[in-house]
Structure 1
Amino acid sequence: MEKQADKKAGLRIVREFKAPKTLVFDAFATPEAFAAWWGPAGSQLSVERFDFRAGGSTHYKMDGNGHVMWGLFQYKNIQRADLLEFINSFADAEGNIITSPFPMDFPLEIFNRITLEENEGVTTLTIQGHPINATPAQEETYFSIMDGMQQGFAGTFDQLEAYLANVLE
């Protein structure tokens, strides 16, 4: 995994999966697949709404370690098997964007861009993210927890790797 903590670039993670890129992409594209692997390790994800198209959104609930959190993806650009762009936010049970459930001034919206490239059956997933419509204080908070976000995505992508291995069996 490659790390980049350049404040102008934001979060950048590169991860390889031994699976065709169509399969990796499809792990994001259906509610059943998405619920099987997305989120922090040890949490149970349930999908409340799933509209996987540009202009659509996914609203989900994560239960884990005695805590309940809600999230929202607002899809901006989807190019099957190659590109996924979305805005990720914390949400309430109705799907409204809310402040972070953690005691910090975190941005309300994070723009994420996922690209997929395949070479000889190995897919390289690159995710890049950065705050949008954020105050300077919110941006500073985002960049101050970059290492924690790297670790969180590593756990999530470990779950994606396990999901893909099960599908390929």
Structure 2
Amino acid sequence: MNDQLSAPFILERRFAAPRELVYAALTEAKHLARWMAPPGMALSHCTVEATVGGAFHYAMRPLGMADVPAMWGKWTFRELTAPARVVVVVQFSDRDGGVSRHPMAASWPLTTLSTTTLSASTDAPAGTVMRIEWCAMNASAAERACFDAAHAGMAQGWGGTMDGLDRYLAEVLARSPQ
């Protein structure tokens, strides 16, 4: 299959948590619902069918603003290799799981591809290195340009989201029996 990918946005992050827990945090609703939103936002809907072809379907809203329309998104799982790799097709969505355009950027690619690899950290016992490569997929030149121009903002937004994941993983580990 030729997916016609753009140059990737790459993010790498280290977590003081085992790969199995980080993988679960990427593939299970009970975890995703607790961390998967940028600062100032919260998930108001979260369902996950973590099988190839299944989806993580979510909605998010600004905190304390129930009257603001939700922004819907969907990851369709393309590959799941526990605990090392998650590949998803990422799209904006509607309440019913249909594909939609970015609500604030009409030139945003309709489809993107995110490949997350999890490897053992060499500098922290039981630690994990997460590497995300995210590309525009089957996008027009204008859509690729929009995606490429957004890399700095994506780094900031995903950085905040990864801070939330880091805090969440620390909370889960603190509750776990030693």
After TM superposition, the score normalised by the length of structure 1 is 0.91
CA RMSD in angstroms comes to 1.5
Mapped contact 2:47–2:57 kept (Cα < 8 A): yes
Partner of 2:144: 139
Answer with 1 or 2: which has the greater Rg: 2
Matches within 5 A, 1:42-121: 42-64=40-62, 66=65, 67=68, 68-119=70-121, 120-121=125-126
In structure 2, runs of 5+ residues without a counterpart are none
- Correspondence 1:126 to 2:131: yes
Q: Using the alignment, how far apart are the partners of 1:152 and 1:29 within structure 2?
A: 20
Q: Using the alignment, how far apart are the partners of 1:57 and 1:51 within structure 2?
A: 5
1:149 to 154, 166, 172: 154
Measured against aligned partners, the alpha-carbon deviations of 1:104-145 in whole angstroms (never above 9, x if no partner) come to: 410011100000011322210000010112111011000011
Q: Using the alignment, how far apart are the partners of 1:139 and 1:62 within structure 2?
A: 25
Measured against aligned partners, the alpha-carbon deviations of 1:47-85 in whole angstroms (never above 9, x if no partner) come to: 343111111111111011544200001000000110000
Mapped contact 1:104–1:141 kept (Cα < 8 A): no
1:164 to 154, 166, 169: 169
Structure 1: 4+ residue segments shifted above 2 A? 46-49
Q: Using the alignment, how far apart are the partners of 1:95 and 1:31 within structure 2?
A: 16
Q: Which has the higher strand share?
A: 1
Q: Using the alignment, how far apart are the partners of 2:26 and 2:6 within structure 1?
A: 27
TM-superposed CA distance for 1:166, in Å, is: 0.3
Distance verdict in 2 for CA 1:30–1:134, change over 3 Å: same
TM-superposed CA distance for 1:31, in Å, is: 0.6
2:18 to 14, 20, 30: 20
> Greater relative contact order (Cα 8 A, min sep 6): structure 1 or 2?
2
Partner of 1:4: none
SS in 1 for 2:99: coil
Mapped contact 1:31–1:47 kept (Cα < 8 A): no
Amino acid at match of 1:148: G
Amino acid at match of 1:51: E
